[in-house]
Amino acid sequence: MDAVRVLLNVIWLVLSGFWMAVGYLLAGFLCCLLIITIPFGLASFRIANYAFWPFGRTIVPRADAGLASLIGNILWIVVAGWWLAVMHVVTGILLCLTVIGIPLGVANFKMVPVSLVPLGSRIVYTD
């Protein structure tokens, strides 16, 4: 099973993962320009790591997330989340046009929720 994950991650990296990670890094750097948006930048850097190598990891909600996470997620959607989610949807649709790209397209669609609301969730290994 580990060999399949590595193979999928390598194919993912070549076809879309690198560009997705670059998009999240760009959003992270833009958010870190202002002191008040540094938490958003850090969340974007965490998601960039996930977007770079997603197979074998998943997203789980944090039990201790509260009102601050909700307010932060609303601000995130306005600042960066919407265009990152669109990036995932467009890439997912393009990847699903090929047989080998279907698992990669599905992985893109699974990343849409975390791209919209990154605060209040954790990225964990599936093992």
Q: How many CB atoms lie within 10 A of CB 104?
A: 24
- Give me the phi and psi of 97, to 5 degrees please: -75, -15
Cα 81 to Cα 70: distance, rounded to the nearest angstrom: 13
pLDDT, one tens digit per residue, over 30-47 is 889 988 888 888 999 999
pLDDT band of residue 126 (cuts 50, 70, 90) is: confident
Cα 62 to Cα 99: distance, rounded to the nearest angstrom: 35
Cα 92 to Cα 102: distance, rounded to the nearest angstrom: 8
pLDDT, one tens digit per residue, over 23-32 is 889 988 988 9
Tokens of 126: 């599936």
